[in-house]
């Protein structure tokens, strides 16, 4: 399997998919895969919102 031609785009696409799913598991997976990426901070904030207010989706 060839690596993606634009790794940053691949990460952004995976973040977009986590947002589309908008689940605890999707955000955790993104954070686990890319803990040092700036989008991991956004994912962590959304994850905290989901955990604090599970019925707000």
Per-residue pLDDT of the chain (57 residues), as tens digits, is 566 589 999 999 999 999 999 999 999 999 999 999 999 999 999 999 999 987 765
The answer to whether residue 39 is domain-embedded is yes
DSSP state of 34: -
Q: Domain range spanning residue 14?
A: 7-52
The answer to whether residue 1 sits within a structural domain is no
For residue 11, the model assigns a pLDDT of 97
Structural domain includes residue 19: yes
Residue 36: per-residue pLDDT? 97
Domain count, the chain: 1
Q: Who contacts 39 (Cβ-Cβ below 8 Å, separation ≥6)?
A: 11, 12, 15, 30
Residue 14: inside a domain, yes or no? yes
Q: What is the pLDDT of residue 17?
A: 98
Q: Which of 2, 24, 34, 6 is nearest to 15 (CA)?
A: 34
In a domain, 48, yes or no: yes
Q: Is residue 15 part of a domain?
A: yes
Alpha-carbon separation of residue 39 from 48, 54, 55 (angstroms): 14, 21, 24
pLDDT at 56: 66
How far is residue 57's CA from residue 53's CA, in Å, rounded to a whole number? 9
């Amino acid at each position: 399997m060839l690596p993606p031609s634009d790794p940053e785009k691949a990460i952004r696409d995976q973040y977009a998919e986590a947002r589309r799913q908008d689940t605890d598991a999707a955000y955790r997976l993104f954070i686990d895969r890319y803990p040092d990426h700036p989008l991991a901070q956004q994912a962590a904030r959304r994850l905290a919102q989901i955990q604090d207010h599970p019925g707000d989706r």
